[in-house]
Amino acid sequence: MATLEIVQVGDPVLRMQARELSPREIASSELQELFGHMRDTMRAAPGVGLAAPQIGASIQLVVIEDPAEFHQGYTPEQLAARERTPVDYHVLINPRLTIENAEPVEHFEGCLSFATFHMVVPRARGVRVEALDEHGRPFTRRAVGWYARILQHEIDHLHGVVCCDRMDPRTLATPTNYTRFYGGKTVAEVLAIVGPKPVG
């Protein structure tokens, strides 16, 4: 399989409403091959999710995987605070997301299309997603915590939304500054450092 170029913020494709895929398109050899290319691109980046608009294709297609090896370096307490557990590789086509637990949870996120930056983004704690798999079969997944965050992040891309649209702008940081100032701190500690949001 080949890896694909990941487009960056400023490319209009990231601001488009992606179109749904038909059963005939899903069964095509071209799309079946694209699944593999997107999986390999996500893994090579590396990332935990990739939406088709991020590789320049304005279609409703997402691949997700959060393997256990990505959790190394986090303490059990940090993983518990994020409600983060391994997620096997899977494909979502024409996904529909429903918020099931609207409790806002704030954590740092990154984005392969906003390369190298980190930012605090509030997300709903629990969601349900109805989608088609790579064979066009319908399925439903429920998720809480980090997996719910990944689903919201990637499905946002299908609707022209990038995580920087939802971020707390005071927390935007380069990797060097993220490590220097915020690494190992809780979000509450980070927000205490950056101070209150401006009024007005």
Annotated catalytic residues are 154
Angle made by CA atoms 33, 39, 44, in degrees to the nearest 5? 125
Distance, CA of 11 to CA of 5 (rounded, Å): 12
Cβ atoms 134, 35 nearer than 8 A: yes
Coil, strand or helix: which one is 22? coil
For residue 112, the 8-state DSSP code is T
Angle made by CA atoms 146, 150, 155, in degrees to the nearest 5? 150
Token pair in block for residue 101: 């637990």
Angle made by CA atoms 71, 75, 80, in degrees to the nearest 5? 80
Q: Which residues pair with 91 in a beta bridge?
A: 63
